Amino acid sequence: MIEADAKSGERKGNTIGCVSIKRVYGPADQGDGYRVLVDRLWPRGVRKDKAQLDTWIKDIAPSIELRRWFADDSLRWDEFERRYRAELAEPARRRAGGSCRGRAAHARLWSPRYPP
């Protein structure tokens, strides 16, 4: 689980097992492993040829409704996490995330988007 400081919004402990989470706007590191973008929209100002991503999986990103509700409010993080996990449990999303789960079990997986 990723925890966020309620006042600053800074996340503590941003590694979950073999999955690391970074913002897409930062530089890629050699140790990042398999890089996955989890977002419905391509991030503004990031060129696809410069992003150094291995794949982009739109279907497991939080819904537009959930993103709007969350609105980057760190005080809503716990409820966002609960709702997002419920979305990820939907059959179509479980199938879409299957390749990531398999990779995470055997190698370091890096997702450059969430939490925002």
Per-residue model confidence as pLDDT tens digits over 54-98: 888 888 899 999 999 999 898 999 999 999 999 999 998 888 887
From the CB of residue 53, how many other CB atoms can be counted at a distance below 10 Å?
A: 18
CB-based burial label for 46 (10 Å; 0-12, 13-18, 19+)? middle
From the CB of residue 84, how many other CB atoms can be counted at a distance below 10 Å?
A: 19
The whole-number pLDDT of residue 32 equals 82
pLDDT per residue as tens digits for the range 33-44:
888 888 888 988
For the cut 60, the answer to whether the pLDDT of residue 11 exceeds it is: no
Q: What is the pTM of this model?
A: 0.67
Distance CA 64, CA 66 (A): 5
Q: Would you call 4 helix, strand, or coil by DSSP? A: strand
The whole-number pLDDT of residue 31 equals 82
Higher pLDDT: 88 or 2? It is: 88
From the CB of residue 1, how many other CB atoms can be counted at a distance below 10 Å?
A: 7
> Average pLDDT for residues 12-35, to the nearest whole number?
72
Q: Mean pLDDT, the chain, as a whole number?
A: 76
Contact 112, 22 (CB under 8 A): yes
